[in-house]
Amino acid sequence: MSSRHGLAAAASLLLLASCGQDTGSASAADPGYPLSVANCGRQVSVDRPIENAVSISQPASELLLSLGVQDRMAGTASWSDPVLPNLAAANETVPRIAKDFPSFERLLEEEPDFVYTTFAYTYTPEGVADRAKFDAVKIPTYLSSSECTGQDAVQSRALTIDDLYREIDDLATLFDVRQRGDALVTSLTQRMATAAKAVDARNTTLAWWYSGTKTPYIAGCCGTPGLVTGAVGAKNAFADSTQLWPETSWESILDRDPTVLVLADLTRGDDGDSAAAKIEFLESDPVARKLTAVKNKRYVILSGSDMDPGIRTVQAVEKVSAGLTKLGYTS
């Protein structure tokens, strides 16, 4: 715990706990409330309009900004890339309380009345705090359904675009901006259809490389890469893996010899994180350079955030469609 925030956080914790124990008229729901949605095996309810939301993850922040509720956000945290250009002005009005994960005490300083994340790690003691700890101080929490079972869990089903649309609908419901949610889903649906029609990738196999050079993290069956791959009509080279991002070897990738490599252009600065560093490795490593995609320089580059489930998923379809079209896979 940071000593700089400790006293204020303790005071916030006591205040929130005492408010949560109030059974008088002040705790009664506002007219038209509560608003509730099902989320990862629990009900998430708000008893009055959300006014002090905190989003912890770039996809969560960008989704709320896309719904136009920036004036009801107390802060954002856990960013990895620049915000989408069309959301930059709205984002400037919301404080960034941490680049990565804030402590629970730091979060309480913002007096949040709702917390939203797309990363299950947020709701762990190592991230911010588990959901029970938020429950204890009467702060509703929402977790993207794409991570109900966690980042490292075996996936029982593949992510679909309807999961994203349902998440938009959930957040629009909780913020009571359903018409904005409907308009956003309509726009994204139209964009998806346009992007998918622009490319013919039926005979194309994609492998998505996120990070790591010695033991690369390559997309498995069931996350955003699988969704995007299917949307453009291609095949996922590691569709038989039920992990979101399994570690593998270059020998295994060579055995499957994908037609095109989709590369994450990460900003962290670790080994092989940037797209340029990935390409340099691919074209110099004695195994990786044997790949057909490397020999033919068939690369499509996306940001790390494009590979996370969220408002950028449709943009990822557009980018992969455009990249494949540039490589000659036209409809």
Alpha carbon distance 286, 309 (integer Å): 33
* Below-50 pLDDT ranges, the chain: 1-26
For the chain, the straight-line distance linking the first and the last C-alpha, in angstroms and rounded, comes to 56
Query: At 257, is the secondary structure helix, strand, or coil?
Result: coil
Q: Do the beta carbons of residue 63 and residue 74 sit within 8 Å? A: no
pLDDT for 28 = 62
Q: Name the residue among 105, 95, 14, 19 with its Cα closest to residue 55.
A: 95
Alpha carbon distance 227, 161 (integer Å): 7
Alpha carbon distance 224, 312 (integer Å): 10
Alpha carbon distance 328, 313 (integer Å): 23
Cβ contacts of 231 within 8 Å, gap of 6 or more: 161, 192, 195, 196, 317
Indicate the pairing of strand 299-303 with strand 235-236: unpaired
Alpha carbon distance 63, 53 (integer Å): 13
List the structure tokens of 83: 């915000």
CATH annotation of 198-326: 3.40.50.1980
In degrees and rounded to multiples of 5, residue 282 shows phi and psi of: -55, -40
pLDDT for 331 = 62
Indicate the pairing of strand 260-265 with strand 35-39: unpaired
**Cα dist. 57→61, 123, 279, 298, 328 in Å?**
6, 12, 28, 31, 35
Fold of 3-153: Rossmann fold (3.40.50)
Query: At 42, is the secondary structure helix, strand, or coil?
Result: strand
**Cα dist. 8→4, 48, 77, 97 in Å?**
8, 25, 19, 15
Q: Do domains 3-153 and 198-326 have the same CATH topology?
A: yes
Q: Where are the domains of the chain?
A: 3-153, 198-326
Alpha carbon distance 315, 321 (integer Å): 10
Beta strand segments in 148-204, E: none
Q: Which residues pair with 42 in a beta bridge?
A: 39
Q: Do the beta carbons of residue 96 and residue 79 sit within 8 Å? A: yes
Q: Name the residue among 247, 264, 260 with its Cα closest to residue 307.
A: 264
Say what the pTM is: 0.87
Query: At 137, is the secondary structure helix, strand, or coil?
Result: coil
Residues in the chain: 331
Tokens 């993850």 locate to 57
Alpha carbon distance 5, 94 (integer Å): 20
